[in-house]
Structures are given as C-alpha cells and as structure tokens.
Structure 1
C-alpha cells in the first residue's frame, strides 16, 4: 500500500469520526458540540419535500426533541465527502446526507436527500490522461463509487439523483 493511499484512508477515517460525533451530538441535543463541528456559515442543499426538512429544524432549534431521529445505518467516506444513509420505516422516509469536512475537522457543507435514491460518481481524468483540460473531456471517466441502498424500503418509487465528487 503506497503512502498516498494510507493518507487518504487516514483522512477518510478522521472525517467519518467527525460526522459520527455530529450525529451523537444531535441525538443528545448537545448544542455546544454541534456548534464546534459545524461551520457558522454551513452551506445547505436540500432535495425533498419541504415538510421533510427535519435536519434543518433540528439544527436551528425549531423542533422538539425526538421529533425525528437521524440514526445512521451506513457511513462511507471519499476524501472530504462523508455519505451517511438512514431510514425511518414508520414514516416511510429514507435519507442520505453528504457532508463536506475540512482538513481541520469542521463540517462546511451538507447535501440532504429525502426519499431519493442517490448514486455518487467520481469525476476526474482517466489513468492514461495526465492533464485535465477542455481538450481532455473525452478522457473523463466517471465511475460510480457509492449507491444508496435503503430507498427501496419506503415502498414507493423515489426519484434518483447523481452526485459528482
């Protein structure tokens, strides 16, 4: 295993630790810990019905404790992006959060998907192309690196989106 791969693995492990700490803090409503983990200007992107903005209401303090519990069922990291998936089968809701974590352990962005199937692809030059410019667009390779697996549990058809990292 080369040193670059080890470094990426350590970065991803640390980023997953930060995101798990956030879910732990959210579950016990530890506002101080949440504030330490999230950037003050957290960038938010939401895909789903407005009535399902449970995370926004939880982070802004406009919800009651226990109104929606985000219990991660799978966590995967790809560099600075950490993907977390969960499901509330009683409400027929699945969710995916794509968090962006900085090198200093601060979460700066969240993309939230409710009742949406998500496929994550990695965009970049192929192994044979060393340059990434407009003339190399035909050399791009976009492999699928992750797919949500819980969307089938809601018992209804859900839209599918692709997130490119």
Structure 2
C-alpha cells in the first residue's frame, strides 16, 4: 500500500483527480495509523452502507474501534477510479482471502459517504448520460469489479 498511487484515467477531470487523491490519502493514513489525517478526511457524520457478512465489517471496526476489531486485517487497494464525486476502490485483505469494493463519495475534499461490498461482484452504470438514456433503458457498465468470482458471489449494480 505504501507505494500505491492512483492512475489518472483518460478524460478524467480535475475534480475526479482530487477525489482520487483524497481517497488514496485515506488508505495511506489507515495503513500508517495516522488518526489525525483520517479525521481530517472523513466527515464527522459519515454515511455508511454495508453489504456482506457481519464478520467482515473491518472498516467500521477500524474507524470506530468497535469490538471485535482485528488489527491483522489490512486493506490492500488494487485499483482506484473516479466518476465525478464517487471514487471506487477495489482490493483484498493482505492474505488475499477476502475481496472488497469501497464506493466513497467525496464532497469538497471531505469523504461524506462509503458503501462497502465484501465478496460481491459490483457493476457500476451511469444512468445520467444522454447516450444511455437514448438506449431505452439499456444500461452499459462503466466499471466492474475484477477480483470477485462473478459466478459464486452475489452481484450488485450501482447506478450513478
């Protein structure tokens, strides 16, 4: 994680680049246990949504200190991509036994919302673009998780 840098996507605007930098800074702060930086990056009342087994609420336990916190669980991001204010991060634990996707919402440089998905295939579609609307409701994916085994895990669609 220490050397992980977000890749700028072709056509990515300045807001998306800033949002990816904010989320990357959060993962670095979590890895280095820099509580002050974590507090600067997260809204005081972070909106949280979780999909997965209750035993995999590692991020919630890490940020709140709620038991049973497992300090051995480490988030290893593999990819970070931004779509406007939403930043998607896909990764696994350091043992590569659990895949996860975090969908962060960044507002004015502060993370205001997170959606967590564990061992779940996530597909993101953009419903607001004119070309998708003109296809009579036919949604094209703009991003899909790569780590989850799409045949044996539940699949969810996020609409932007």
TM-score category, normalised to shorter length: 0.7 to 0.9
| 1:46 partner SS | strand
Residue 159 of structure 1 is aligned with which of 143, 154, 157? 154
Instruction: List gaps (5 residues or longer) in structure 2.
Output: 1-9
Question: Rg larger in 1 or in 2?
Answer: 1
- Distance change (3 Å), C-alpha of 1:128 and 1:160: closer
* Residue equivalent to 2:21: 17
Taking a change above 3 Å as real, the CA distance of residues 25 and 159 of structure 1, as seen in their structure-2 partners, is same
The answer for the alignment partner of 2:7 in structure 1 is none
Picking from 56, 68, 74, the partner of 1:69 is 74
Q: What are the residue-to-residue correspondences of 1:126-145 with 2, within 5 Å? A: 126-127=130-131, 139-140=136-137, 142-145=139-142
Query: Which residue among 142, 146, 159 is the counterpart of 2:143?
Result: 146
* Map of 1:85 onto structure 2: 90
Q: Is the 8 A contact 1:44 1:109 kept in 2?
A: yes
User: RMSD value over aligned CA atoms?
Assistant: 2.5
Q: Give 4+ residue runs of structure 1 displaced > 3 Å after superposition.
A: 138-141
Provide, for residues 104-154 of structure 1, a one-character-per-residue CA deviation record: whole Å limited to 9, x for no partner.
20000000000000000011252497xxxxxx9x8555321000000139x
Instruction: Give 1:49 shift.
Output: 0.2
* Equivalent pairs, count: 149
Tell whether the 8 Å contact from 1:126 to 1:139 is kept in structure 2 after alignment.
no
More helix by share: 1
Q: TM-score, normalised by structure 1?
A: 0.81
